[in-house]
Structure 1
């Protein structure tokens, strides 16, 4: 049996994708969190991009390999680990799912701009971008509870960390981003109740995210204080 170690960061949504996939597969793994503001030398030696997640695979014969990029890690786990399938068997449907995973990464790009916005104009620009993205995916969803209906997939693993941000953001203000998007809202609720999604972050995640907003002087906090 291989020993798997997930090199992680407490907040990183890309790490959460890999953690969710590991938990869904029921695979034993160790998790090591690092400080991305002070990356250890051993990490820089094995991370070509200097980013998390990394999956370190140690074989019984003493050999070792390191995978980087969350999508690569998730695909590897799907191909090598037993447990429920997280990708559709049909090649065309599987390709479509991969496309929606990439779409999820584009949502995260807008979300970064939203949470780090320091003025109202930038915040509104990113809010509108997020509304547009979620409106697009509303049209791709069925009656759920998950992206592909009753089966949990890697697309769900990608979007669960996206929705998690809003669990905190919703306590600061009403963004209106999900207004009228009933399928998206049902999907968000279903993902939040999934055990793998809950366990993909530590109990201190909300506190750490709040500290992140404070560090970046997010207007989300200033708006909340002024309300």
Structure 2
């Protein structure tokens, strides 16, 4: 075993790396980092001070997209399509998934109802774009599970919590998106990417944001 993933309990970017390694059926170690009290050894291998970081023996790779690409280049069971054109398109949709994660952070950090409404509209618009892109499923590109699916599994996981708070209408009437969400939630690699305590930890995190969403949870 040479792969070692520096993780955080709630980080969606860590989750996509874990999903990739589980799909590839490769062994790896995992160490959780307290991002409020980062050890010096971690900062020495993470120039941005963020998770995930993957080490392979004595070498470190930081940033989740770089980690995903490294795993594609060095490990069996590719999750990228063979076609260079489709592979490039998928890289674009991976970036789109990262943009949605940024919008989700804006959503749960929104300080007022007005800002919250703006962030809700931005998320809704992005998922409407996805609805137009999706085919018959069950995954982003049909029958094959790809890196785009690995990226969106953690995205949809947030909505398991949001749906328990209220119906924000973000995914309303998006039948293909909802079907994709259900299929990803049933995937063992997506389920195993987080600990059993994840829902409780995420709930506590959101309650402590002192944001508009926090007041709805109260």
Please tell me the TM-score bracket, short chain as reference. over 0.9
Displacement after TM superposition at 1:184 (Å): 0.3
1:126 aligned residue (84, 105, 119): 119
Provide the rounded CA distance (Å) in 1 between the counterparts of 2:152 and 2:178: 12
Provide the rounded CA distance (Å) in 2 between the counterparts of 1:212 and 1:69: 23
Structure 2 stretches lacking a partner, 5+ long? none
CA RMSD of aligned residues (A): 0.9
Displacement after TM superposition at 1:224 (Å): 3.9
Match of 2:22 in 1: 23
SS of 1:139's partner is helix
Match of 2:65 in 1: 71
4+ runs of 1 displaced by more than 3 Å? none
- CA deviations on 1:127-146 (whole Å, 9 max, x unpaired) are 00000000011111101010
Q: Which runs of structure 2 are paired with 1:1-227 in the superposition (5 Å)? A: 3-58=2-57, 64-83=58-77, 85-225=78-218
Provide the rounded CA distance (Å) in 2 between the counterparts of 1:36 and 1:203: 20
Contact 2:171 2:177 in 1 (8 A): yes
Displacement after TM superposition at 1:219 (Å): 2.0
Displacement after TM superposition at 1:193 (Å): 0.5
Contact 2:208 2:214 in 1 (8 A): no
Displacement after TM superposition at 1:175 (Å): 0.8
Contact 1:10 1:201 in 2 (8 A): yes
Contact 2:4 2:55 in 1 (8 A): yes
Provide the rounded CA distance (Å) in 2 between the counterparts of 1:13 and 1:218: 20
User: Which one is further off, 92-101 or 39-48?
Assistant: 39-48
Contact 1:172 1:221 in 2 (8 A): no
Contact 2:138 2:180 in 1 (8 A): yes
Displacement after TM superposition at 1:221 (Å): 3.3
TM-score by length of 2: 0.98
User: Which one is further off, 72-81 or 95-104?
Assistant: 72-81
Displacement after TM superposition at 1:220 (Å): 2.1
Provide the rounded CA distance (Å) in 1 between the counterparts of 2:52 and 2:119: 26
Provide the rounded CA distance (Å) in 2 between the counterparts of 1:3 and 1:210: 34
Figure out how many residues of one structure are paired with residues of the other and give that number: 218
User: Which one is further off, 184-193 or 210-219?
Assistant: 210-219
Structure 1 stretches lacking a partner, 5+ long? 59-63
